[in-house]
Amino acid sequence: MWGGREFGKPMAGRVVGGDWDRDVQRLEDYDLYGMLRAHFEDGVPWESTAHYRSLLERVRAGETVWHRCSSRADIDARCAGLDDLYRRIDRDGVLAPRAVESSGSGDPLSDDLLNRFPVDLGAISVDVGRDGDPILDDGRHRLIVAKLCDVAEIPVTVLVRHRQWQAKRNEWANGRESFDHFDRPL
């Protein structure tokens, strides 16, 4: 699921109340998901997908889109990076940023965003809603590709937790209940 509202890496470690976890868009409903699914599962060329055409129209209207793309060549280069990412994830699964860094092979979608934050703030980050549900914060390209490649497990970094969820974690951390959740206290 994607929250549609990114807290972002500067919010890492915060506990936040409110209703931010209520209006969540399913990942499969995101335009990017449809584009990647059409390309990777159905073999549709990038330029024949509706999302690609929409990005191209916006660039032609003078907008900068999709991680600093301001020309068709930029969009095509981003798509080529996605092709590389798909091959890598299909072969190796989703690697944590440190594993990508230590492999020396580089990141096919690198836009220097990882260099602005500590490397352990992963490429796929989630926020945790009041009921313990993960809500995608960042890393949608990797998550979608991992889903299309049927990757069973992926490393994620939890950035923000809902105040109600944190209260449950605190109870579990104090040994009041057993805890079997991806966001279990260490």
Tens of pLDDT, residue by residue over 53-62, are 999 999 999 9
As a whole number, mean pLDDT of residues 74-79 equals 96
Compare 69 and 123 and report the one with higher pLDDT: 69
In this model, does residue 178 exceed pLDDT 50? yes
| Domain presence at residue 3 | no
Q: How far is CA 8 from CA 13, 23, 84, 163, 185, in A?
A: 11, 17, 25, 17, 22
Place of tokens 């934050």: 117
| pTM beyond cutoff 0.95 | no
At residue 99, the pLDDT reads 64
| Domain presence at residue 101 | yes
| Domain presence at residue 1 | no
| Domain presence at residue 16 | yes
| Domain presence at residue 186 | no
The whole domain housing 143 covers 9-173
Domains of the chain: total: 1
Q: Which two tokens stand for residue 167?
A: 């209260």
| Domain presence at residue 112 | yes
